Amino acid sequence: MEYVDLLNCMRCGMCLPHCPTYKETFLETASPRGRVALVRKIQDGDLEVNERTLEYLTLCLDCQACATACPCGVNAGELVAEFKCEEKGKGGLSFMEDLILRKLVPHPERLENAMVPLRLYQRSGLQTLVRSLGILKMFPPALGRMEGLLPRLPAKPLRKSLLEVTPAVGEEKGTVGFFLGCVMSLIFSEASHATVQLLSGLGYKVVTPKAQKCCGAPNMLGSDLKGLRDLATYNVDLFGGYDLEFIVTDCGGCGAELKKYGHHLPGNSRAEGFSAKVRDISEILALHADDLKKKLKPLHRIVTWHDACHIAHCQGIRQQPRTLMDLIPGLDFREMNDADACCGSAGTYNVARPEMSDRILERKVSSILATGAEYLVTANPGCLLQLKKALSETSPKVKVVHLTELLSESIKG
């Protein structure tokens, strides 16, 4: 973390109306400029790191709405995240953190094996029984929240069924790499399958290296900088072995992390080159809007779009998804208020900070329902999980889908 970044904050307050936690508490210490001030005081030696200061700092969702609003480009979320990484580096990971972030997350096979019991839990009918009897109330609340977020799992992970090389349909326009996110493969495989089919249908040969590993976002959330750098180095070397025009992802969180590999691995020119090639699927599809439009059939639905923080604030992608939805004949697109406001998912925040997460989520759900939409469209797995759960309880008729699923539905007619 560069000290000069802390000095750039002018305390102008432009960030305050955009910060989810400040809007809920109106506490200066729960605001971006308040967090920057705390980190600066700690760096200057005027304030000790204790439970109270960490409580204020960890209240941040790292949604980076503050960075979008800041006239000086100060990113309080990243500053807090990097500060937490530095602090974690002094004490090391706990046993559970090491088990999850080093022994499980970097190994796709282990992640897939870990999902087998959950798949059996659902398909055996045990989940229905557990929920109907309220058995989860006997366990820690965090377990109940995690179970409640779990949607219907696919029959098998997409990584196991997807071809390593998907040929282009028709004349080949180029070759792209597909970065298949862990959660997308394990939970939202239909959306990622649609992504590959869209790319292939537009004339791209799609290379999906089976040996790829997690992007490192969970490690960043867990303040495990070494684990993140190890994964970044591995993925950079793996994808560097292919001649690719772009590296495409349909996971907002993965895209945001992949585009920062050059920052995480300073001085590594291959990492900078890797990050320069990373594109969100909406960026690639928007380049071929005319060709895509010819394939789309009428879809008479009322839809609205949720700007995932990792896409809108972290990557600056806002217009492309809207452009793509505008291509679909018959679609009634309705913009919601504060479309780029966080939904409260923020990785594991909705489990670690359930009360604050629910307050933020309530605002988002109200904005969604006010549009009268039949479909809520977004493109980040954390948001999909959070909003599917919330809307299934309040408005089960509202379908929550990934952008590529909506486009695929239109193509199929």
Q: 266 with 239, same domain?
A: yes
Q: 37 with 49, same domain?
A: yes
Position 243 scores a pLDDT of 96
Alpha-carbon gap, residue 221 to 135, rounded angstroms: 30
Closest CA to 34 of 45, 49, 22, 23: 22
Q: Tens digit of pLDDT per residue, the chain (413 long)?
A: 566 677 788 899 999 999 999 999 999 999 999 999 999 998 888 888 888 888 889 999 999 999 999 999 899 998 888 888 888 788 888 888 899 999 999 999 999 999 999 999 999 999 999 999 989 888 888 888 999 999 999 999 999 999 999 999 999 999 999 999 999 999 999 999 999 999 999 999 999 999 999 999 999 989 999 999 999 999 999 999 999 999 999 999 999 999 999 999 999 999 999 999 999 999 999 999 999 999 999 999 999 999 999 999 999 999 999 999 999 999 999 999 999 999 999 988 999 999 999 999 999 999 999 999 999 999 999 999 999 999 999 999 999 999 999 999 999 98
Total domains present in the chain? 4
Q: 376 with 309, same domain?
A: yes
By residue count, the chain amounts to 413
CATH classification of the domain holding 10: 1.10.1060.10
Alpha-carbon gap, residue 20 to 356, rounded angstroms: 9
Answer whether 388's CB lies under 8 Å from 349's CB.
no
Q: Which one of 130, 149, 168 terminates a domain?
A: 149
CATH classification of the domain holding 328: 3.40.50
Position 1 scores a pLDDT of 56
Structure tokens at 40: 């600066």
Q: 141 with 186, same domain?
A: no
Q: 103 with 83, same domain?
A: no
Q: 402 with 325, same domain?
A: yes
Position 4 scores a pLDDT of 65
Q: 53 with 124, same domain?
A: no
Q: Which one of 260, 285, 310 terminates a domain?
A: 285
Position 284 scores a pLDDT of 98
Q: 263 with 369, same domain?
A: no
Which residues, at least 6 apart from 307, have a Cβ–Cβ distance to it below 8 Å? 318, 339, 340, 378
- Going from the C-alpha of 148 to that of each of 2, 177, 194, the distances in angstroms are 40, 34, 26
CATH classification of the domain holding 187: 3.40.50.1860
Q: Which one of 149, 168, 184 terminates a domain?
A: 149
Q: 332 with 264, same domain?
A: no
Q: 279 with 349, same domain?
A: no
Structure tokens at 239: 């994808």
Structure tokens at 57: 């700092």
Q: 372 with 266, same domain?
A: no
State which residues form the domain around 321.
293-412
Position 2 scores a pLDDT of 63
Q: 82 with 109, same domain?
A: no
Position 321 scores a pLDDT of 98
